[in-house]
Chain A
Amino acid sequence: MRRGVYLDSAATTLEKPRAVAAAVKRAVNSLASPGRGGHAASVAAAEEAYLCREAAARLFNVREPENIVFTMNATHALNIAVSALVKPGMRVLVSGFEHNSVMRPLHALGADVVFARGELFEPETTLFAFETRLAGAGCVIINHASNVFGFVLPAERITKAAADAGIPVIIDASQSAGTVPLSFAALGADFVAMPGHKGLYGPQGTGILLCRKPCRGILHGGTGSESLKPYMPTFLPDALEAGTHNMPGIAGLRRGIEFVLSEGAENIRRREVKLALYAETELRATPGITVFGGGYDRDRVGVLSFLRDGTDCETFAELLSERGFAVRAGLHCAPEAHRTAGTLETGTVRMSVSAFTSERGVERFVKTVKLLAAK
């Protein structure tokens, strides 16, 4: 298969550090289930899981490794967090850039959702929108970085404002984990949810929930601990990790996190933003193309949305796909983000990069978009 230029890293980073696949392969053949036995394969699995928790704790400045909970993905992690904090009818303040992994759990719970919409790439307006709507809220949920536009919200300042008002906070770090430095210890959020397969370079089917304290989970089952009790353990991570762990995924995820630790999240972000900003600058100057970017390298990650005037976004993405460029079009499972930006009717075409995206690939992409726009 000819891979072409992969520019859909906001969905899944396709190219991973080589150690990731090697660890997955080794795990399939050598790791059993952590905490389920005293034999070598079970102990080896437990060690792998603990090392992954330690790596994640280092990356996100979490004091206790047990506060790193493994999940199936960010959606799973967000469902746990939302179900722990939100009750039916509760007023929940969200940023207006939320993915359906937040909106659908809130809808299912019957939450009273209030939007604190600010202007795209104007973080002060978002902060103001939150600060002026905090009264009466039972929970605040912040999209750290928009998966559609790459806009990084001022999560630290919003969290502080919420914490000062005694309101618990959930941060969706799906698009920021691994690229935007994040200190859980300093942040003060109750939960931070993230996938393993994006900026952490792990395999699909992995995710992490950073937890301030134990809570009731959404899955119930075996944990290899306190087996006599008919209910789940009340301590972390067991309270939220029912059933057999995805050990191949966790083994791969550890190598991905170690890659981020060795490169440095901010270094990765800088490089990715440089590529996205190059594309933004070039496409902004292209007749017939509308870009949705801030025009600067602050408050963003390596994601860029754009439209070709008069062409359906899906059609344009297909034209790019035919030419070897993998992008994503449509609503990106985030209709509220499009509503906030005024692109709900049109959707957008999104290009997104990773630490492995080459400058040459982005240059070819820009050239191709320009050619298509001129037709």
Chain B
Amino acid sequence: MHEFERRFGELVIQYRWLVIIACLLLVGFMASGAKHLSMTTNYRVFFSEDNPQRMAFEALENTYTKNDNVMFVIAPEDGNVFSKKVMEAVYELTEKSWQVPYSSRVDSLTNYQHTEAEGDDLLVEDLVEDPALLTEERLAYIRQVAVNEPLLRHRLVSDRAHVTAVNVTVQLPGINEATETPEVVAFTRNLAAEIEAKYPFIKIYMTGMVMMNNSFSEASQNDMKTLVPLSFLIMMVMLLLMLRGFAGTALTMVVIILSVIAAMGAGGHIGYPITPPSATAPTIILTVAIANSVHVLVTFYHYMREGMDKIAAMIESMRVNLQPVFLTSLTTSIGFMSMNFSDVPPFNHLGNMVAIGVMMSFVLAVTFLPAVISLLPVKVRVHHEKGDRLMLSIGNFVVNNRRKLLPGMTLLVVVLVSFLPRNELNDVFLEYFDETIQFRNDTDFTVKNLTGMYLIDFSVESAEPGGISNPEFLQEVEDFANWFREQPETLHVNVFTDIMKRLNRNLHGDNDAMYKLPDERNLSAQYLLMYEMSLPYGLDLNNQINVDKSATRMVVTLRTLSTNQMIALEKRSSQWLQENAEFIKAAAASGPTMMFAHIGKRNIISMLAGTTIALIMISMILIIALRSFKLGLTSMVPNLVPAAMGFGIWGMLVGEVGLALSVVTSMTLGIVVDDTVHFMSKYQRARRESGLNSEQAVRYAFTSVGRALLTTSVVLIAGFLVLALSSFKLNSGMGLLTALVIALALIADFLLLPPLLMKLEEKSNEKDTAVAPAS
């Protein structure tokens, strides 16, 4: 029995120097990949290349232009945008914004291309040509033009005229994503500071897609800087309490640090970017992998206290632990690797990096750790440990109350699970960032005062070249835009028909009665030709008209909405199109907001498959490891119930699950299964090797692994609670729910699993006592 394990332990000790050097070389090689790691600064990383919403949006961007932006929102302290001094600030900011790296377009009140009729001329000029020449009269005129212009109101100026914006469109080449976005952000922040210093009566807020992208890396960096050290500290304290020795604690920390470095480096080799989810990998590896070393060391100290010498104690510890530590590492890795089913690449990366880290910590815990220990002077006081009184009393309590506990726990589970449907799949991606991230505050200000961050892009298609000049098509586009304007969610609609109406008025001597769509196709086409010839560099219409003029881009700006509200609005809009569109041949909603709206559901569906496969694999491993079909299947109860209970409690208290939580089930599955493995293997050993009946076996399991389960669960809960402090909601939600599920798993393993085992074995008890125990 355990011949292989003992031989393995002996070999490790025999070739300890070789083992240490080989381990360090392996870690060194894996860690060398760290140089490829870079912070991602693009929200697109959350969407796989074949995500349909992403593909639709990229097709739209390739048809028109990319519209990633930085928006400067300017709030004058006197609450009036239309004063000479504020216009001077806007003018200067506009001019300087052309210098923003990768900028392709700058839109503001001052460079808005105002059109006017001048006799038979079409005058196209900047709304503010020279702010120094502005008179009160002209300011009043500009105000009246701006707040009545559908292109500007609720986009670049508020209707109360108390805030205005300068919007900078950038075309990031995407060659070096890690540097491009920070470059733009650094430049624009400096620019904003410079303008604020020169014009102290204005305050500038910064939002837009580029700022959001940058916030992803800021959130990751925050987590790396604060959460990782905090979790190290907590783990160190925990280790000191558990191992009661500095040498063991220090050595365990070394093993964990090497595992983290190796895993992150391996991620770099594979080419993973650092995203807020994958930035949690060090904390998770630290938390999950600590158990491997702890098991080896605890057993080792135990045998030394029993009087064994150092080498013998270590070989014995290896003999006892090699298999269970391998099994738990394997099941944990499978749980994390099931995240590969996720439609969200950062979760794939996180899952794989953690799996690598866990397997690495297993390898190091059974090679490097014993090899180093064998070289260190280790002294313990020899004494025979007393039985664990606390665990024995819990064991007795469970055995004595098993007939009440089983239905009681079952009822609790049923009640909690009944709250599960109260969870609604819902996300507000803007709220992924908490208030410690500047972008969130600035965006909240912008949404409250000026315009939204949530956009739907439509490529409204006529399906014939030049079709955008067809009056019937234009009319439908306008109706569609007007329908959106009536929706309570809508803040602004940017639509080409407004330009057409304005041109029609201009070319009829600014006659207000002609502020309507041209009624003839050639007329629209020729207006458009004329207007396009009058526009300056960077302010053209190529961002909203495609090359063969068969389609136009319509952008709807919305309040901050949840994914459910977004999807509902999308449904209503396609319903409208279905009922009303005849000349609009296609108008699919796309854009980052739509991508985020769909990702939660897509991810849950993809994770269902992942979780199922992980569950099947883990159950099979347990059946093989326990060499019992019955016990293997029984293990599914304490493996699955905690997640179901966790989501039930979540449904009761929170009620909303988003992208973050859709990975929790499979992730916790691999973790909670460890407790089950340890408990059941001890139970089974007691039954088979010592021939105890099920009540005695339960008591044995409690006294032998109960405390270990308790302490490892506390470690895990503490580690994941650290994640709950993340400024990135995906991580904090995931951390919180995972901690909850792990706590519930401990309760299930202590209070539900033993009564269930005893119940299942009631009938076979009498039979078994007669037969010699199998070995």
- Binding between chains A and B: no
> Which residues from chain B sit less than 8 Å from chain A, CB to CB?
none
